[in-house]
Structure 1
Amino acid sequence: MKPHLLRIEAFGPYAEPVEISFDALSQEGLFLIHGSTGAGKTYLLDALCFALYGEVSGDRSVKALKSDHAEPSAVPRVSLDFSSGGARYRVERSPAHCAPKSRGEGTTEKAPQAVLFRLIGAEWVPIASRTTEVTREVQGLVGLDAAQFRQVILLPQGKFAEVLRARADEREALLKTLFDTVIYERAASWLEERAKVARIHVAEQNRDLEVLRHQAAHEWSPYAPEPMEAPNDQEGLDRLVEQIAAVVAGTQSNLKQAVAALESAQTAKAAVEKLADRWDRRRAALTRLTELEAKQEAVADFRQRLSRAERAEALRPSVDAEQAARAALATLEAGIRAELLSAIRARDAALALPVSLVLLDLLALPSLEDLGRARADLAARRAEVTALASQAVEANQARIRAASAAALARAADVRLSQNSSARESLQQSRQAAIKAFSKACSARDQLDGLQRAAQDSRDRARAVAAVAPALKQEADSTTAKARADGRLKQAQAALHDLRHRQIAGMAARLAGSLEAEVPCPVCGSPHHPAPAQPSHDAVSDEAITAAEGELTAATTAAEQAAVALEKAQGERKAVLEKAGAAARDPMAAETAARQACEALATGQALAETVASLEQEIARHERDLEALQASIQSASTELAMQTRAAADETRRANTLTTAIARELGEGVEPQQALTTFEPLEEALDALADRCQASASAVTRLEQASGRLARDLAGSEFADGQSVMAALKPESVRQHWADRIKAFETEVIELKGLLASADLADLPQERPDTTAALVAVHAADAARTSAVERNSEARGAQVEIVRLTSEHRNGAGNLAALREQAQLFSAVADRCSGKAAPFISLQRWVLSAYLADICRYANQRLELMTSGRYQLRLTDEGGRGGRQAGLGLRVLDAYTGEEREVNSLSGGETFQASLALALGVADTVEAHSGGVHLEALFIDEGFGTLDPDNLQLAMDELDRLRAGGRMVGIISHVGALRERIRYGIEVLSSDQGSRVQVGTNTLA
């Protein structure tokens, strides 16, 4: 973390805004913060710490940070710009304070506020806005919390030695934040977890073995002669295996006996059931035979009905022929009635019939002669109407030709109207093209002026855009010149001061060249009773030469800055002169340039259309000529088609009048012909029916004669009695099958009763229940034996399995115990629970602390002239505390190590400063550490004598040479002489203010 800019307002003793640029201070590397007691020097470090963490560096309360010198309505604020990880951030904070109420009297409590920004491009983007969130983000960016920040970067007044005197656990917490050692902490945690898991596995394996023994005991319990405890070891399980094997052998023998008893009972049951089955079959045959004998009369009736039906079957052809002839005649007569009705409907629907057909009687079937005359009259009428139909077709064709001519006339009229409209539209387009052509020619003539105007507008806009950079360059050059002039004045003052001091010490310088009995070059006396003595700040010629060189360099820099300023001023005047009045409104200049470019683009686009518009005008003129010709052609076509339509209409009307005179109004010849067709078909059908009716009567007379002859020699009186006796073939076959089945079943039953299988049977049916009960009892005994044998064998399999698993598990338990002991020992060692009671992480941190001591001792030996060294100690490990990370000091004068608390005040300051610098060196030397670019020290130098102060300052100078920025708060006057640049805090009754620059006493 590197601070850049600190802003303070209404904070502590600072009522007015204060701004401190650390970038300017870092150029010197080492700067001093000095001022009178109580002026507010420490408040500057408080503001720095408060901006980052919302806490102050000393013992002050964050609730009393608002300046008493500020207005009641003023808001205390602190802002710090800093960089971290290659990015730049700004944190702004306002502490809790009281402010006047917006209404009424009194005050209200304002909560603390905080915002963290990140610079992205040229814009500050907020990334956190809650106080806790801002603090968390800052800790991540800096890599330290507030307490650690005060121990490593900002060393507050009175707490400078906390790093040196911190307890081991406090020092461990600090080192954890400075160095990434979490992997070692995780490794120790992982080992503890693995040890815990290994111990759990051992316990689980013990439990699993115990469960196996209890399960084996449970399986054996149904067969145990008395209750027993579970076996304690593998031998007890092996004895259970032997015992269950004996139980299984006994149940197997019992099962064989039960199976033999069941087989014997089943054999006896089969014999009884076979005898009972023979008895049942004889009983069923006798019962069925009795039933058949009771159906003898019904079977005899079936035989009689079947014989009469077979005799009637011989007369079936004659009866069927007579009925068919009678049915055919009835059907024909029904058809004749239907044909007569159809003929009447067809005659009523027909148009323009001859008189003979109108007078024909169709209520009864006419004779063939009447039907022939009517058919001939209708044919003659058809010929007459057909001739009229031809005339009607000719009239229709005339109407079609008239309609076609009328349609062509209308089309010609529409085309004439469209062409006239098109001509008007084309004339308008031609006029528009002529106007556009004139406008395009005008734009072509103005192109040169538009191009010059656009170029002037663009040049003016570029000049306006260059005004701001030119002004900034002039301001930067002015600032650089002021800085160079300040440096020149400072060099001149320094050279003047050195020369003045050299002149003041000239007597001592001449006294140094005096020799005894040699005349003095000033007074000429050979005696020198009281020669002048050189002062402690005597100025050498080398210092004068160096100051003169600095003055020369400052003069050159001032001249170069003046030239740069003059150049920047000239550039600024040039761009302002070129921009003119537009410099006051850059947006207007940009708009004017854009509009001029758009006008030029529009003019160029219009000028490019001149040729195309000329072609368009010529095309319009050609199209107008073509339209005029089309209009003349349409007018001629309209007149011709109108005349043709009138002629065809007159011819069609003449023919239509002649047809109406012959057929009557509204009757079309083709319509009349269409109505003739149904009547013609009806007359032809009636003629056919007359001939068919005569044939049907003849066939009926012949069939009736044949039937009368067949009935004369039979038992039937007429055809109706024959029909009553006739039965379908399926019925007759059914009767024959039933008669045959009855006779066959009676014969079979009698043969069965006479067989030897049904002879010698007892009167009563044999009892099968007792045999069935005996079989059930034997089967139940056998099932019980099977279950007992199966259960015993299952128990045997389970006990053998459990015994085998127990044997394997007992072997695994030893390996698990060994692994658990190994993991526990390593975990205890890495977590610091076993000798030497240093955790793995603390051991690594000890290595880092050893590096810190090595770097610190390099400085401490210089600052103490080789007397003291810091030593790392591993003492501890008692009372539950871990060893390591202890510090002691080696005194070279005595050769003994002692506690750091035994050092004097000045020695403690030297050791603390060396340790703080060693921390920073070690952090920067190891990758992944926090990059520390600043160090602030509040007091402590007053405890050093001049020689040790000189040694400490020499060390800080070396630190500055390494690129570190070091800020020191001190009242020691020698530091003001040594440190030439810094911050002076000036106090007054209106509050404090700061002045950054060269120290006045330097």
Structure 2
Amino acid sequence: MKPHHLVIEAFGPYAERVAIDFDALSDEGLFLIHGSTGAGKTFLLDAMSFALYGEVSGERGVKGLRSDHAPPQAVPRVELDFSAGGARYRVERTPPYTATKLRGSGTTEKLAAAALFRVLGTEQQPVASRTGEVTREVERIVGLNAAQFRQVILLPQGRFAEVLRAKAEEREALLKTLFETEIHERAGSWLEDQARTAQRAIEEQKRHLAWLREQAAEEWLPFADQPHGRAEGEGASRSQDPMGAERPASASDPGTPTDQASLDRLLERIRRVVAACEETRRLASEALEQAQRQRASVVQAADRFDRRAAARTQLAQLEPQQPEIEALALQLAAADRAEALRPSLEADQAARRDLQDQGLRLRRELERAAAVRDGARGLPDAVVALGLLSLPESADLQDARTVLATRRVEVEGLARQAEEARQARDRAARALALQQQAQAEIAQVQRQLQLLRDQRLSAEAALQAARSAADRLDGLTQAKNSLAERALASRQVRKGRRLEGEAIETLRAAEQRLQLTTTALRTLRERQLAGMAARLAGDLSTGSPCPVCGSSHHPQPARSAADAVDAGQIEAAEAALNQANQEQQAAVMHLADIRIRLEAVLEKAGAAAEDPAAAIQDAEQAELALTAARLQAERLPQLERNLAEQGRQITSLESSLQAASTTAAVQERSAADAIQRAGEEEVAVAAELGEGVAPRQVLDSLAAVAQALETLARCSEADARLRTRQEQAAARLERDLEAAGIADAAALAAALRSEQERTGWRRRIEAFREALTSQRAILAAPDLLELPELRPNTAAAELAEVAADGARTAAVERHSEARGAEDDIHRLSEEHRRLAGDLADQEARSELLSDVANRCQGKTVPYISLQRWVLSAYLAEICAYANQRLDLMTSGRYQLRLTDAGGRGGRNAGLNLRVRDAFTGEEREVTSLSGGETFQASLALALGVADTVQAHSGGVHLDALFVDEGFGSLDPDNLQLAMDELDRLREGGRLIGVISHVAALRERIRSGLQVIASDQGSTLRVGSTAMP
């Protein structure tokens, strides 16, 4: 993975947008990131880590990453272009932050956002757009997670110096922060939990086994005194009840079982009890069957005795009823013969009733027809002369109906003439109404026409006024603008003079600060020159020549004073001077700008500059006049449209007035014609029917008479049919009576009975005869002929059966209880057998878990926990890689060694470091190394960590590396060796960045980034690192 371009905006200490072109820095391969302490050098790498993974170093969190120096509307963001796996990518991220609302007041919380693109030339292909998805894709592309990336790309040499010098316990804590070994610690804890859980399971299993044995003893307890449950040779003993209290035990009670063998013996005992109960149940069942057979025999004999007695009683009751039943049978036979003639009798009776009803109906119809004829008008003479006291002859009735039909046709013609006259008068009425409506419309239109003509005169006057106002708009607008500018300028004069005073005060304060910072820098430089000897003496070492006198002997080197000035103080003072100088120049420019604007305002205000109130009042009056004229002029198009519309309305009303006059004249003529036609039709109808007689009324009366005559005709036909049917029914009845030998219809009616009555007689006769026959047959049965005279006693047999049934029920219940106890004891025994077998496996597993957990937690020999063992393996691998670097940096003198020597009981074993000195051939403590040697060892250790992490990440190779601080402790020779090692690191195109504020590195590394801190946020300067 190699970074190419980094953009930071409103992020951390960087308020403004800063950009870093790593490709330009990679020309040298080695570059320097320098600046004052706290300026934000390391934050650049945090920004790179945040862009890739959405995380920063452990000391910082993703909340609060927005720069406090940035303006409210600025959006914090980081953008990184990088390449990995032969492809180039661009990742963009925004942390969660609080933003000011665009509308209204208050703030709103913004969520984190991220996007990943693959860069193909000038195009970007989206890869992921959600924060978690982007992180997963980056981990897949780069091959490292966030923690591994920070370990490999950033080498915090200071922390590795702590790792080098720390004790084993402290080194373990530091290594835990570099490597994710929490899983091994959790694994040890998990194993301990599993061991404790397994032990608890064993104890619970044992308790459950004891409970099973107690339950088996409880099941056996009701049968402990059963003689069949005693095994041979068993004597009296004492046992414990299931609750643990001692109780006397019978000779057959084995007490609570203690193991599987005793459970098996208990099961054998209960099985013998079950067999004995089974034999008892069998004997009781046989006794019950014998008692049931005896009771059945006695009951059967008693039943035969009861049947014979009942038959004798029934027969004694039936024999006296026999004469009555025979007489009833004769009467039933006569009713059956009469029933065959019932249809003929009912037909004759029905015909007579229908003929009688038809006579009554005929008389009613004759009376109604006479009444209808008497009330009718315009009847023909033949209809008037028709006699209706009795039914007329069919021919006379038909002639009257024909003459009446002809008269109805004539009157219908007269009715049509009368309807035409009525319609003519309706038309005349409608024409008169329309003529009156037209006259009213003429009056309404005339009034509207006069009103519109008056309104048109007013509209013409308003239109003339609006045109005049429109002509004055330009002049009023110019006057208003001129007065408004003067009023505005007069108000700005006072503000400009106040700002001028404030700018003068700001300039004075800036000049004072510039003077103070100039004096402070001069004082610091004088003190720095005074302490230069102590600085030179600080770089002296035994055997090395003095850069001043050249001597390798340094008897009394100068010592630094308590208030010695270092380069950082000078840099800070210079930065303060630059800041003060910039503030003074800015104050001068600000004052000049304010004075220029004040002169422009005074020129615009003119005489109004001294009287702003009058200028404002004049501007307001001009504004009011302009507004009034504008409002009047804006009405001009509407007034013109209104005037044109009024003209169109007048023309339309004049046309409507002409049309209404024409309509009134036409309707008046139409009404006169209709009235004349109606009079002629009415005269013709009156001449035929008489004055005041309506044709429709005559038609209705004729129709009623015709309907009455038609009803009489139908009644005549019905009367003839009914007389014929009555004669036929009477003849048939007479023939049937003669054939049946019945005197007349009255005798037939007296013999008839209803179906229900005859059925009842028949059933009574049949039931009597069947009962008589049945009882006689019962008494003649063979099994009733030799019965005793006294009834057999069934109560004693039933009592014997009940006693036998009770004995059998008790035996069955006892057998069922014994079988249930056998099943329960068998189930408990088998479960005990299974669980006892599982207990051995559980104990073996528990012992294994306990041993492994104790070993992984360092509680047994060799007393090294799993986590410490893993850290020791990491440290050994780190030392192997580190020694390759350290051998080059120390010219083969030093090698780091991992030793197992530990503290008490070996609990600190596995993480102790020593250094081997090739010059002496001895190993010694790493704390004996000098400051420069410690830096070399810690740098080698840091590089070893990077190599180890890359090796454990599938051989991922990073084409960039950053080394943080630690160079200040090196003498020139060791610094050169360290620089040589960095040069070797950049071989193959790797980009190496050194983060330091050591001035000597600026002489050795020619290009880099300078981080400049200020009260407005940090900024970057990219280019040469040479000191001025």
How many residues are matched?
697
Offset at residue 151 of structure 1 (A):
12
* Cross-structure match for 1:373: 396
* Cross-structure match for 1:938: 965
* Cross-structure match for 2:934: 908
* Cross-structure match for 2:809: 783
Q: Does 1:272 align with 2:298?
A: yes
Offset at residue 927 of structure 1 (A):
2.2
CA distance in 2: counterparts of 1:784 and 1:167, whole angstroms: 86
CA distance in 1: counterparts of 2:153 and 2:723, whole angstroms: 145
TM-score under structure 1 length normalisation? 0.55
CA distance in 1: counterparts of 2:762 and 2:1012, whole angstroms: 148
Structure 1 counterpart of 2:895, from 853, 865, 869: 869
* Cross-structure match for 2:155: 153
* Cross-structure match for 2:459: none
What letter corresponds to residue 966 of structure 1 in structure 2?
G
Work out whether residues 879 and 944 of structure 2, in 8 Å CA contact, stay in contact via their aligned partners in 1.
Answer: yes
Work out whether residues 39 and 1013 of structure 2, in 8 Å CA contact, stay in contact via their aligned partners in 1.
Answer: no
CA distance in 2: counterparts of 1:10 and 1:742, whole angstroms: 124
The residue correspondences of 1:409-424 to structure 2 (distance < 5 A) are none
Secondary structure in structure 2 of the residue aligned to 1:775: helix
* Cross-structure match for 1:965: 992
Distance 1:901 1:238, change over 3 A: same
* Cross-structure match for 1:734: 760
The residue correspondences of 1:922-933 to structure 2 (distance < 5 A) are 922-927=948-953, 933=960
Query: 1:4-30 deviations in whole A, cap 9, x for unaligned?
Result: 46789997xx9x989795846665454
Query: 1:487-524 deviations in whole A, cap 9, x for unaligned?
Result: xxxxxxxxxxxxxxxxxxxxxxxxxxxxxxxxxxxxxx
Distance 1:847 1:346, change over 3 A: farther
TM-score under structure 2 length normalisation? 0.54
* Cross-structure match for 1:162: 162
CA distance in 2: counterparts of 1:58 and 1:872, whole angstroms: 30
Distance 1:76 1:171, change over 3 A: farther
What letter corresponds to residue 327 of structure 1 in structure 2?
R
Offset at residue 241 of structure 1 (A):
2.9
Secondary structure in structure 1 of the residue aligned to 2:916: strand
CA distance in 1: counterparts of 2:729 and 2:1009, whole angstroms: 154
The residue correspondences of 1:36-115 to structure 2 (distance < 5 A) are 40-41=36-37, 43-45=39-41, 86-88=89-91
Distance 1:114 1:846, change over 3 A: farther
Where in structure 2 are there 5+ consecutive unaligned residues? 99-106, 118-122, 132-142, 226-248, 420-549, 552-672
Query: 1:966-985 deviations in whole A, cap 9, x for unaligned?
Result: 32535565x45433345679
* Cross-structure match for 2:267: 241
CA distance in 2: counterparts of 1:793 and 1:319, whole angstroms: 86
CA distance in 1: counterparts of 2:362 and 2:9, whole angstroms: 130
Secondary structure in structure 1 of the residue aligned to 2:914: strand
Distance 1:798 1:390, change over 3 A: same
The residue correspondences of 1:780-859 to structure 2 (distance < 5 A) are 780-822=806-848, 825=851, 829=855, 834-838=860-864, 843-859=869-885
Offset at residue 742 of structure 1 (A):
2.4
What letter corresponds to residue 979 of structure 2 in structure 1?
M
Offset at residue 782 of structure 1 (A):
0.8
Distance 1:75 1:876, change over 3 A: farther
Distance 1:792 1:116, change over 3 A: closer
Secondary structure in structure 2 of the residue aligned to 1:871: strand
* Cross-structure match for 1:772: 798
Query: 1:772-794 deviations in whole A, cap 9, x for unaligned?
Result: 22212211211221222233233
What letter corresponds to residue 153 of structure 1 in structure 2?
L
Secondary structure in structure 2 of the residue aligned to 1:161: helix
Offset at residue 918 of structure 1 (A):
1.9
Offset at residue 318 of structure 1 (A):
9.1
Query: 1:599-642 deviations in whole A, cap 9, x for unaligned?
Result: xxxxxxxxxxxxxxxxxxxxxxxxxxxxxxxxxxxxxxxxxxxx
* Cross-structure match for 2:282: 256
Work out whether residues 9 and 18 of structure 2, in 8 Å CA contact, stay in contact via their aligned partners in 1.
Answer: yes
Where in structure 1 are there 5+ consecutive unaligned residues? 96-110, 129-139, 397-534, 537-645
Offset at residue 869 of structure 1 (A):
0.8
CA distance in 1: counterparts of 2:895 and 2:848, whole angstroms: 40
Offset at residue 164 of structure 1 (A):
1.8
CA distance in 1: counterparts of 2:300 and 2:907, whole angstroms: 100
Offset at residue 677 of structure 1 (A):
6.9
Query: 1:304-360 deviations in whole A, cap 9, x for unaligned?
Result: 865875797799799668745643541342343355367558868999653122232
Q: Which moved more, 1:345-354 or 1:214-223?
A: 345-354
User: Alignment identity in percent?
Assistant: 44
Distance 1:20 1:93, change over 3 A: farther
Offset at residue 862 of structure 1 (A):
2.0
* Cross-structure match for 2:917: 891
Q: Does 1:221 align with 2:239?
A: no
Work out whether residues 116 and 129 of structure 2, in 8 Å CA contact, stay in contact via their aligned partners in 1.
Answer: no
The residue correspondences of 1:981-1000 to structure 2 (distance < 5 A) are 981=1007, 997-1000=1023-1026
Structure 1 counterpart of 2:256, from 230, 238, 241: 230
Q: Does 1:723 align with 2:749?
A: yes
CA distance in 1: counterparts of 2:809 and 2:185, whole angstroms: 68
Q: Which moved more, 1:211-220 or 1:924-933?
A: 924-933
Offset at residue 265 of structure 1 (A):
1.5
Work out whether residues 157 and 939 of structure 2, in 8 Å CA contact, stay in contact via their aligned partners in 1.
Answer: no
Offset at residue 266 of structure 1 (A):
1.2
Secondary structure in structure 2 of the residue aligned to 1:361: coil
Offset at residue 900 of structure 1 (A):
2.2
Secondary structure in structure 1 of the residue aligned to 2:892: coil
CA distance in 2: counterparts of 1:118 and 1:693, whole angstroms: 112
Q: Does 1:143 align with 2:170?
A: no
Work out whether residues 889 and 900 of structure 1, in 8 Å CA contact, stay in contact via their aligned partners in 2.
Answer: yes
The residue correspondences of 1:280-429 to structure 2 (distance < 5 A) are 280-289=306-315, 291-292=317-318, 299=325, 302=328, 306=332, 323=349, 326-337=352-363, 339-340=365-366, 353-366=379-392, 368=393, 371-379=394-402, 382=405
Distance 1:355 1:856, change over 3 A: same
Distance 1:833 1:26, change over 3 A: farther
CA distance in 1: counterparts of 2:321 and 2:397, whole angstroms: 74
CA distance in 1: counterparts of 2:732 and 2:97, whole angstroms: 137
Work out whether residues 871 and 888 of structure 1, in 8 Å CA contact, stay in contact via their aligned partners in 2.
Answer: yes
Offset at residue 938 of structure 1 (A):
3.0
Distance 1:757 1:657, change over 3 A: same
Offset at residue 866 of structure 1 (A):
1.5
* Cross-structure match for 1:918: 944
CA distance in 2: counterparts of 1:388 and 1:200, whole angstroms: 124
Work out whether residues 213 and 230 of structure 1, in 8 Å CA contact, stay in contact via their aligned partners in 2.
Answer: yes
Offset at residue 247 of structure 1 (A):
1.2
Work out whether residues 985 and 994 of structure 1, in 8 Å CA contact, stay in contact via their aligned partners in 2.
Answer: yes
The residue correspondences of 1:435-454 to structure 2 (distance < 5 A) are none
Structure 2 counterpart of 1:685, from 714, 722, 735: 714
What letter corresponds to residue 395 of structure 2 in structure 1?
G
CA distance in 2: counterparts of 1:307 and 1:74, whole angstroms: 126
* Cross-structure match for 2:622: none
CA distance in 1: counterparts of 2:1016 and 2:176, whole angstroms: 45
What letter corresponds to residue 146 of structure 2 in structure 1?
G
What letter corresponds to residue 796 of structure 1 in structure 2?
E
Query: 1:550-576 deviations in whole A, cap 9, x for unaligned?
Result: xxxxxxxxxxxxxxxxxxxxxxxxxxx
Distance 1:286 1:660, change over 3 A: farther
* Cross-structure match for 1:956: 982
Work out whether residues 359 and 719 of structure 2, in 8 Å CA contact, stay in contact via their aligned partners in 1.
Answer: no
Secondary structure in structure 2 of the residue aligned to 1:888: strand
Offset at residue 827 of structure 1 (A):
5.5
Distance 1:751 1:387, change over 3 A: same
Offset at residue 257 of structure 1 (A):
1.8
Distance 1:201 1:930, change over 3 A: farther
What letter corresponds to residue 278 of structure 1 in structure 2?
R
